[in-house]
Amino acid sequence: MGSIEQQLECREKAEYADVNWDELGFALTKTDYMYVMTCCEDEEKFSQGTLTPFGNIELCPSSGILNYGQGLFEGLKAYRKEDEGILLFRPEENAMRMKMGAERMCMPSPTIEQFIDAVKKTVLANKRWVPPHGRGALYIRPLLMGTGPNLGLKPASEYTFLAYASPVGNYHKGDMKLIVEDKLYRATPGGTGSVKAVTNYSPIYKALTQAKAKGFSDVLFLDALTGRNIEEGSACNIFILKGNVISTPTAHGTILPGITRKSIIEISLTLGYQVEEQAVPIEEVFDAEEVFCTGTAMVLKAVASITYQGKRIEYKLGKETVAQKLYATLTGIQTGLIEDKMGWTVEIY
């Protein structure tokens, strides 16, 4: 990381926006720039993108995204190191997932190189909004939208890729208390549950709103086919721990293959845990020692309790938990405190 003198010199050169970093939650703070590029039906690839001041965009009332929900989004973070350097975490994984989602939604997508370049340029243009080390992250939200006009039901004739950013803090504050939803379902076999389609999210608002009105943090959804297996939360994957075994539902088509999920599986294996990706019946949570959720927004969060059909199960929390060990390892890599032997981080200048 360089000498203390070098680190101090970097700190003196760093410019920060006027933000109370200690009060950041997970909400939009408008930053300086966004990155935009387009692709028309007579073009084979996206055009060279441009940075433009952050602001509203103009859409035709009959655009594919507004009328038929033809759109995807991604989410990733940039972290500030102790020496003021900036790290991205596994951006190529987001790029590949967007390509997979675009194929499912009949959309062209940026190349992996275009995606990563767009993210880098968005971060650098907004680098004064990257929080100081250990006080949050810059969340980058790439969007892929059908913006061409369509009255009939068909893929759009024009597409827009847009990336914007916002500094963020914790996604969930306080203990995480889940309630199992056994009447509404997040995804169905053959649907779009395994991609980040924009249409996956608003249908869960009803369940989430009802849960929060009862004092819960989030909803744990069951599979639509049998109603017996746990799948994921409203915006997170789930893991359970029993002894040395960490289990998580298989990402088989109705579950989003989360990048944080993938990273935690790989870290768990390197730390000597046995990881099982399989169907996880709801009964398995009754005698789990620990339960935790993962996602880009929340990173990794231990679950304090799960309530199912009036029965509340509580789990181990605290500094000595496996969840805390995994969280410390992951965030250490993300922020440059731990050597990245996985090759996951990308430093940008």
- Given a contact cutoff of 8 angstroms between Cβ atoms, the answer to whether 116 and 345 are in contact is no
Q: Using 50, 70 and 90 to split pLDDT, how confident is the model at 43?
A: confident
Residue 214 to residue 186: CA distance in whole angstroms: 20
- The set of residues, in sequence order, having a beta carbon less than 8 Å from that of 254 and lying 6+ positions away, is 186, 187, 188, 189, 191, 193, 194, 223, 224, 231
- Active-site residue, from 196, 214, 311, 316: 196
Whether pLDDT at 9 is above 90: no
The pLDDT value given to residue 11: 46
Give the pLDDT band of residue 201 (cuts 50, 70, 90): very high
Judged against a pLDDT cut of 80, whether residue 13 lies above it is answered with no
Lowest mean pLDDT among 11-25, 98-112, 310-324: 11-25
The mean per-residue pLDDT over the stretch 314-341 comes to 97
pLDDT in tens, 76-94: 999 999 999 999 999 999 9
Can you give the pLDDT at residue 172? 85
Angle at 15 between CA 12 and CA 17, to 5 degrees: 145
Q: What whole-number distance in Å separates Cα of residue 200 and Cα of residue 137?
A: 25
H or E element that contains 328: helix 322-334
Whether the Cβ atoms of residue 39 and residue 46 lie closer than 8 Å to each other = yes
Tell me the C-alpha to C-alpha distance, in Å, between residue 167 and each of 28, 170, 265: 8, 11, 27
- Where do the H-state alpha helices sit in 44-90? 64-68
If one counts every other C-beta atom within 10 angstroms of the C-beta of residue 226, the result is 9
Active site residue 196: yes
What is the per-residue pLDDT for 1? 44
**Confidence label for 6 from pLDDT (cuts 50, 70 and 90):** low
The predicted-structure confidence for 245-276, as pLDDT tens digits, reads as follows 999 999 989 999 999 999 999 999 999 999 99
Give the tokens for residue 5: 């003198």
**How many residues would you count in the chain?**
349
